[in-house]
Amino acid sequence: MAFQRISCEQARALFDNPALKVADIRDFNSYSRSHITGAVLVDNSNVQAFMQSAPKDAPLLVCCYHGNSSQGAAGFFAEQGYQEVYSLDGGFELWKVAAPELCETS
């Protein structure tokens, strides 16, 4: 299993699928300030619970700050059996500029 790196434009198209899950792996404070609409904050303390609630056949978009750490996390999810895993190139920093209408605050 592998993951794909995708642009903000490609990721925006994923939002047409209601089954999409978004995993935000940034720190709590960054997530609290703003995050991708519908994103779940995922860290070591809740990754197992997230995996129990996120179907392995649903698309999964992984987001970090700049698109670097999300690649490792996307690889992890792919290894766990997720079939359609994406790492967001540019991370949330680019997303909030490219798709501000798909951002929310906690």
**Three-state secondary-structure class, residue 83:** coil
Active site residues: 64
C-alpha closest to that of 37 among 18, 56, 65, 10: 18
Element (H, E) at 85: strand 85-88
Radius of gyration of the chain (CA): 12
